[in-house]
Amino acid sequence: NSALLKVNGLKKYFPIKSGVFQRTVGYIRAVDGVDFEINKGETMGLVGESGCGKSTIGRTLLRLLKATDGEVLFQDKSLFELNKKDLRKMRTEMQIVFQDPYSSLNPRMTVGEIVGEAIKEHKIANGNELVERVIKVLERCGLSKYHIKRYPHEFSGGQRQRICIARALALEPEFIVADEAVSALDVSIQSQIINLLMDLQEEMGLTYLFISHDLSVVRYISDKIAVMYLGKIVEYADKNELFENPIHPYTKALLSAIPISHPRDKKKKIILEGDIPSAANPPTGCRFHTRCPYATKICKENEPQYKNVGNGHYVACHLIN
């Protein structure tokens, strides 16, 4: 398997402005040096509490936000150095599906217009050919040609998310960022949408970055999982490896919050004390030390480096020294 996407040292800082002259007085270090790769046809799950920088990664990859530093290679091309023409082409290959299917669909456009907009804009098809393409992609997403002339408000949350997915697929992309794409939906609808995403992946060879705060959702769809805390990836491994052999105390805490699937798997829920510290002023050393039950003196002083503990399982924690 070859990497479709390679991310090296990605950073995104947002300036904090203050005073009448709106001078920059500091930075929110939303993403603070992140590396990962996603192989073609695979799904990487990105988990962590809200505010840890997951969405910022997704948006930066799609160039909806400008990165502060780092490099992203997509199909071996450097994403941040593309000229206008290549960027335009790249935009057809990378799409995003957001959490809220209510606010991300224009209420004044029909489903046909919504799904066909990008095809038209990129002059890929028009007239009957456009309509046929729209119908094809709607059908792929479990909708039908009868939905073309209807408006978003006529649909349920799950169906609206199908419309959003159809819109993302209209240009037959390679890569999709799903940012909390099922988080606003009921549990039974969540699994329908996840199954749809997995079917589409198989059919179209799609590669996903699947962002969620919910590890039990990520578990189902992901091949690999990266756990993020306050702007950094603290643990990264194959899904099964991560669930069977979690090492980072933060990952263990997230796992302990998932309801047990088998009564034999007795486990104690680890309650993390305190809120996530501010990304404007992250803790020294290991950023997790203010909440970690195992923190020692060294954790406050030195930042733990990434270590490969075998099988492509990476952890940043002083416990594994």
Torsion of CA 14, 20, 25, 29, to 10 degrees: -10
Contact between residue 96 and residue 64 where contact means Cβ atoms under 8 Å apart: yes
Where do we find the tokens 């399982």? Answer: 313
Near Mg ion by CB under 5 A: residue from 4, 46, 55, 219: 55
Residue 56 is a binding residue for Mg ion (CB under 5 A)? no
DSSP state of 152: G
- d(CA 17, CA 113) in angstroms, rounded, equals 40
Q: How many residues of this chain interact with ligand SF4, rule: CB under 6 A?
A: 13
**x-or-dash string of contact with Mg ion, 18-47, rule CB under 5 A:** ------------------------------
Sheet containing 23-39: order of strands: 23-39, 3-18, 69-74, 77-78
CB of 299 to ligand SF4, least distance (A): 3
Burial class (CB in 10 A: 0-12, 13-18, 19+), 136: middle
Q: Of the ranges 65-73, 103-111, 239-247, 283-291, which one interacts with ligand SF4 (CB under 6 A)?
A: 283-291
Residue 286 is a binding residue for ligand SF4 (CB under 6 A)? yes
CB of 14 to Mg ion, least distance (A): 14
**Phi, psi (degrees; rounded to nearest 5) at 44:** -105, 125
Residue 304 is a binding residue for ligand SF4 (CB under 6 A)? yes
Decide whether 88 or 297 has the Cβ nearer to ligand SF4: 297
* Cα 184 off chain centre by: 15
Decide whether 158 or 304 has the Cβ nearer to ligand SF4: 304
**Phi, psi (degrees; rounded to nearest 5) at 206:** -75, 155
Contact between residue 177 and residue 61 where contact means Cβ atoms under 8 Å apart: yes
Q: Of the ranges 7-15, 51-59, 126-134, 251-259, which one interacts with Mg ion (CB under 5 A)?
A: 51-59
Q: Looking only at residues 215 through 274 of this chain, which bind ligand SF4 when binding is defined by CB under 6 A? A: 248-249
What residues make contact with ligand SF4 under the rule CB under 6 A?
Answer: 248-249, 286, 288-289, 292, 294-295, 299, 304, 317-319
